[in-house]
Amino acid sequence: MRVFVLLFVLLIPGANAFQYSELAQYVESQKERYVESLREWVAIESDSSNVLKRPLLHHMMEVVAEKLRLMRGNVEMVDIGEQELPDGQTIALPKVVTAQFGNDSNKHTVCVYGHVDVQPAKLEDGWLTDPYNLTEINGSLYGRGASDNKAPVLAWIHAVEAYQKLNMDLPVNVKFVIEGMEETGSNGLDAMIFAQRDTFFSDVDYIIISDCGWLSRRPALTYGTRGNCYFFAEVEGPKQDLHSGVYGGTVIEPMTDVIGILDTLISPAGKILIPGIREAVAPLSDEEWKMYQDIEFDMENYKNKIGVSQLMYSNKVDLLAHRWRYPTVSIHGIEGAFSDPGTKTVIPAKVTAKFSIRQVPNMDPAQVKKQVTDYLHSVFAKRKSPNKLKVTMVIGAKPWLAETNHPLYEAGKAAVKRVFNLDPDFIREGGTIPIARTFQDVTGKSIIMLPIGGFDDGLHSQNEKMNRYNYIEGTKLFVAYLNEVAQIRESTV
């Protein structure tokens, strides 16, 4: 069921009661303590993709809950059940932490969503510092999860705390939903949101997500994200690894097969070869083209930051469009083959290729799953290999898109103006925040993405960092944003 709402918006400029400078000053005075909190959180290896780290992830959720409890929030740890592993075993999912600050029915209620799980990281991957020991170099705080998403979650908590410490009323009621499975597809969260749609979420007016970054040094508001379908293609041959000297030439090797099918996914220039994928993509409108054309984006800077001699597209609109609103295939790696330094003369017996396809309007993960599975099986059948292929889609997250003229975004513009004295960029995100789409579909609430991460934070890669500047000014932005949201006046006609 869809409810049509007509919005009437009135922004009351510079509400007198709001003492921004006092709050900003308080935030300034607490900088070192904020960094210390981040250090404590980064030290917990809350890697949700590695089940061996699950106890640390459970611990991480406890630490979040305890911090919110100490602030006298109404905190709950919601059991969201179990996760089934590929081998059929089950393992407990990390609990979702919910919290509520303020319960004034005359105020708007915002719900801040964040996550405290992280991507895998090992020093050997090429980190210059221990990824779980927050290290400050030239104003950047290096550590896995620093920007994605621990510092933004802490900044939101500290924004609420600032009002408390100064004995100021919160301008809006603030709820939190903090999860621990975002990096692997927010397993269990959809069901939890659905289950609490008419309880926890019933009085929520707006949902705020700060799980992304700016496009340049200019603050930005994000109005769209790509989804992601993550696939495992497992090829199984001999019952165990074989010596390539002793057995090479007598068996069809699973690695040959897996390389062969992976090579049919994309052309050398990056064109997706799976039938049906490109056909589903919404065409680029003239308005979009114009909007991209107007965005402040330095191609040369982007190229240098990545460190490549040539990008996939040489003009700004094509590049931004392929980053934000076209699908792409990335091959992440192969599990089960020899991946260590040195030489090993092995024929791996079972190898699992991992690749993902970013989703954009109007692609449908269920459809993509079928397209990819059918295609790979047909390609594999042509090889006439005696080995066995199994294709699984382990993540299927939809894209999300918002209206840029929504009052939430007007409030964002005002808050950015107050803190940075700048107009924000309106941008999309190539990455996936799957839960945005679920919030939209299940609760029907409006959503804003309000990033504070830097454009070069290295999410998911080595040497992830959060700038001290972004962390502290970002906390001020959240402080100011809560006040701006309080000014929104909507009437339902």
CA distances from 134 to 151, 358, 386 (A): 11, 31, 49
Tell me the closest approach of the beta carbon of residue 443 to a copy of itself, in angstroms.
24
Q: Is 442 exposed, middle or buried (0-12, 13-18, 19+ CB in 10 A)?
A: middle
CA distance 331 to 77: 36
CA distances from 352 to 333, 335, 398 (A): 8, 5, 24
Q: Which is nearer to a copy of itself, 46 or 328 (CB)?
A: 328
> Could you tell me if 392 and 232 are in contact, meaning their C-beta atoms sit under 8 angstroms apart?
yes
Among candidate residues 405, 451, 436, the one with its CA nearest the CA of residue 222: 451
Tell me the closest approach of the beta carbon of residue 147 to a copy of itself, in angstroms.
11
> Could you tell me if 458 and 466 are in contact, meaning their C-beta atoms sit under 8 angstroms apart?
no
What angle separates helix 54-70 from helix 31-42, to the nearest 10 degrees? 150
Tell me the closest approach of the beta carbon of residue 145 to a copy of itself, in angstroms.
13
Q: Is 66 among the residues known to form the active site?
A: no
> Could you tell me if 18 and 162 are in contact, meaning their C-beta atoms sit under 8 angstroms apart?
no
Residue 444 CB coordination number (10 Å) = 13
Tell me the closest approach of the beta carbon of residue 305 to a copy of itself, in angstroms.
9
The one catalytic residue in 182, 253, 429, 457 is: 182
Tell me the closest approach of the beta carbon of residue 221 to a copy of itself, in angstroms.
17
Tell me whether strands 220-225 and 425-429 are parallel, antiparallel or unpaired: parallel
CA distances from 268 to 273, 275, 313 (A): 11, 17, 13
Tell me whether strands 109-115 and 173-179 are parallel, antiparallel or unpaired: parallel
Q: Is 456 among the residues known to form the active site?
A: no
CA distance 423 to 429: 18
Q: Which is nearer to a copy of itself, 13 or 245 (CB)?
A: 245
Tell me the closest approach of the beta carbon of residue 290 to a copy of itself, in angstroms.
20
The one catalytic residue in 117, 148, 161, 234 is: 117
Residue 441 structure tokens:
């579909």
Q: Which is nearer to a copy of itself, 459 or 482 (CB)?
A: 459
Q: Which is nearer to a copy of itself, 73 or 237 (CB)?
A: 237
Coil, strand, or helix at residue 313? Answer: coil
> Could you tell me if 148 and 460 are in contact, meaning their C-beta atoms sit under 8 angstroms apart?
yes
Tell me the closest approach of the beta carbon of residue 317 to a copy of itself, in angstroms.
12
Q: Which is nearer to a copy of itself, 29 or 293 (CB)?
A: 293
- Give the N- to C-terminal CA distance of the chain in Å, as an integer: 18
Tell me the closest approach of the beta carbon of residue 61 to a copy of itself, in angstroms.
19
Residue 230 structure tokens:
């993550």
Q: Which is nearer to a copy of itself, 11 or 291 (CB)?
A: 291
Coil, strand, or helix at residue 374? Answer: helix
CA distances from 382 to 261, 355, 376, 459 (A): 10, 21, 10, 39
Q: Which is nearer to a copy of itself, 344 or 370 (CB)?
A: 344
Q: Which is nearer to a copy of itself, 171 or 348 (CB)?
A: 348
Q: What is the DSSP letter of 401?
A: E
Query: Which residues are the active-site residues?
Result: 117, 182
